[in-house]
Structure 1
Amino acid sequence: MFKKPTQKFSGKIGEVEIGTGEKALKLGGESVLPFYTFDGNTGNPPRVGMEISDVYPEDWIDTLKDLYKEVAKDPAKWAKFVEDKYSPDFICLRLISADPNGADASPEDCAKTVKSVVEAIKTPLVVAGTGNHEKDAKLFEKIAQETEGHNILLMSAVEDNYKTIAAAGALAYNDKVVAESSVDINLAKQINILINQLGVSNEKFVDNVGCSAGGYGYEYVISTLDRVKLAALSQNDKTLQVPIISPVSFETWKVKEAVEPEADSPQWGNQEDRGISMEVSTATGILASGSNAVILRHPKSVEVIKKFIKELLA
């Protein structure tokens, strides 16, 4: 009788919990490659989150804005609407208003907004900053203070500001943080080691090792995910044994294939369909290469990716 061989690894990805109560969720926990149910324990299923914004999303495509036209000017109402209608595993609030090159909203005002959102929903909350390292440090410190007890995920800490964000988020106020690096296994290790040296354990943070839309340096993202996951599992590299989150929507909804109006390039077909296709194709490859959570924007993308995960784990 044929006995199928299984591949065993010495390492295991740790678990990180976000949120509170009945909808709290865990990321990671696997000891095999993504979706390799035939080899062993695949851990917690990959999670699918939905992106919202703290201001009306002027730059989103019209069909998406139409979905949210009644609620998009109130982040708390928008979050509740998404929770009730689409049931994502988590919600990602992007603090667009805080950008120093835009409205430059104060950390205090942003913290009030985040508090109103986290109190309006039961779904775990991820809060994404501006990408301005100095502003994000001030922002997340205030947000962590205002939302203590909600176990939110602060995205992201980088080498320039990790001391403030990880210390405030993970140590002082018991939230979780995202350690961000730029599509390189050595950079991922480096930021993780720095955060560990602060006294933050692997159960307190997840990685964003970089993300891009399909066709835009995507192969580097995929190969980096593969290398990180293999090092964590086969080499038992404890510095990389943390779950990974990938902000797919941040990248896919800004490339020309997703935003080019149909009137300008009719040969490309329907604009909304193109955006969904770009988001779905990007997310599937990223999940198959080792990401434990993806952030998406379109409800149809969320539906397709949830089905993709369910069927691969069946």
Structure 2
Amino acid sequence: MFKTPFKKPRSIKIQINEFKHGFLSSVNALIKFNKYTFSWEFLTSTIIRWIAVITMFVDHFAFVALTPLDKNYVSMRIIGRIAFPIFGFLAGLGINYTSRKLYYVLRFLILAIVIHVFVLIFYFTNISTQLEPLYLNIMYILFLGTLSGFVHTKNNLIGFGLIISIFVILFSLEAFPIRATINSSSFRFYIDYQTYGYSVIITSYLAYYYFNKINHEYKLIFFKIAFIISFILINIIFNQIGFTSNIQLYSLVTIPLFLFYSFKKPYSHFILTIWFSSAYAISFILPALTLF
């Protein structure tokens, strides 16, 4: 008998019950701590992703709709420093976790292109955002980071070659900026977070990839320690060589989130998946609409 390859949609009742179970599980996790992973079980990827999204909205509102002369501009940009380290950390873990690695990688590329189309629309319709036509959004750096991880999982040697190559290219673009003239105005070509962002993603990916192979009950604690130390060094080094501003050092406040991060699989729902996938684009579009 022929069987359809499609799953039968879950009923509303089943989805409600799953939501109740997920909610109660999250409440119970508030008082649970795993000593083997040094994890507060409430602090799952979903929880810290919410923190990243909220702080990202604050940051992008200032970046798009305000100017550096506005009194709240700097404080809102400081709040926004919390967002990227979380996204980079989760992207590095995600390419390790997911069984659909190529889909995971290409999703970032598709989102990057869609967002860039809006950036070009805003620029060529004379909407006065701070987004420039040669600005490549953060999704491009997440794409490059996860692509490197994907290739590394297939072939470690080729993967390391790609990682080094991309790092050198990004570093060179920062050290020797490329500019182009559009409509009589000169613009710099750059990718958001550039070498710094790529380093955070790759550090998360490689640290988990190798420490997870260790046959030791505290291996995930070792991963956390390695990532946190590397994250601190990345912030200090890139600040000292002038590749990041002083306010980027505020990103170090995310360290407790990484230290107590829970590896427990969180409650998931397709609505949450859609929301988190589209939140970055929405965080640019909504502030831009206020400028019409």
- TM score, norm. by length of structure 2: 0.35
- Tell me which protein shows more strand as a share of its residues: 1
Q: Which one has the largest radius of gyration?
A: 2
- TM score, norm. by length of structure 1: 0.33
